[in-house]
Amino acid sequence: MKFSQFRATLEKPPLSKIKAMIKYLYYWGWQRYCPICQRPARKFGVAGYIARQDASCLHCNSLERHRLVWLYFQQKTDLFNGQSKKMLHVAPEAVFEKLLKARLGSAYLTADLDPTRAVIQMDVTDIQFPAESFDVIYCSHVLEHVPDDRQAMREFFRVLKSDGWAILLVPITAEITFEDPSITDPNDRLKFFGQEDHVRCYGFDYPERLSEAGFQVEIISPADFLTENEIKRMGITEAAGEIYYCVKA
């Protein structure tokens, strides 16, 4: 190989950079905006177990529900009012973790059944903290994986302070909650529950379970606090679901 050819090889950008540049140009625009990373795009990317178009932020990977919850945190809660709050974040999403840590500091605690994914290892059906330990609890798309979800809800209620609040989100995929403990094979769970590691499909009766644990539940839709233009530009589609805001009754 001649030196000129060798030099050209060194100067040629790697294929990954070329693909990234093409992707950036393809999605460049202003029609969409992510409130989490505060960056615009022509549209969001594809995401989901069953692929959804216009769903995932190309910059921070936020999904519809993440953008909805972040806006709710900012606009409708006291989470960022500067006063110290101890927050428990179960199964922390990467899109939130650094931002919440920066805002809340040492009062922000992440927990997961997998010890490599959070600060502490935690079984949500047996939370090793005293009663009324947390001002805020955030748990999103976890309970559909938990066999005894009612016990987990009772534990969240127990460790939440009397003047605290929790946002406990699940995917609603049925009219009425369906579960069958005898269904344990991953293929059967995929068939009946939509994912190999899900143990139920939640229905619109989900708030009743939270109420049974002692919570007073407020169901918030995107249109309750966002304009039609905000909903469209931030890509908050039906896949975002609703927010279940829980306080002690």
What CATH number does the domain containing 163 carry? 3.40.50.150
Bridge-based pairing state of the strands 134-140 and 160-169: parallel
Decide if 6 is inside a domain: no
Decide if 151 is inside a domain: yes
Decide if 229 is inside a domain: yes
Counting runs of H as helices and runs of E as strands, what totals does the chain give? Answer: 8, 13
Task: Please state, as a whole number, how many other Cβ atoms lie within 10 Å of the Cβ of residue 39.
Answer: 13
pLDDT digits (tens, 9 = 90+) for 41-54: 999 999 988 899 99
pLDDT digits (tens, 9 = 90+) for 73-107: 999 999 999 999 999 999 999 999 999 999 999 99
> Which residues span the domain enclosing 139?
62-248
**Nearest residue to 225 (alpha-carbon basis) of 31, 71, 65, 37:** 71
Decide if 16 is inside a domain: no
**Burial class (CB within 10 angstroms; exposed 0-12, middle 13-18, buried 19+) of 108:** buried
Token pair recorded at residue 94: 């990467």
Decide if 34 is inside a domain: no
Instruction: Measure the N-to-C terminal CA separation of the chain; round to a whole number of Å.
Output: 77
pLDDT digits (tens, 9 = 90+) for 167-224: 999 999 999 999 999 999 999 999 999 999 999 999 999 999 999 999 999 999 999 9
Domain count, the chain: 1
Question: How many angstroms from the chain centroid is the CA of residue 168?
Answer: 10
- The whole-model pTM stands at 0.89
CA distance 53 to 98: 26
Decide if 44 is inside a domain: no
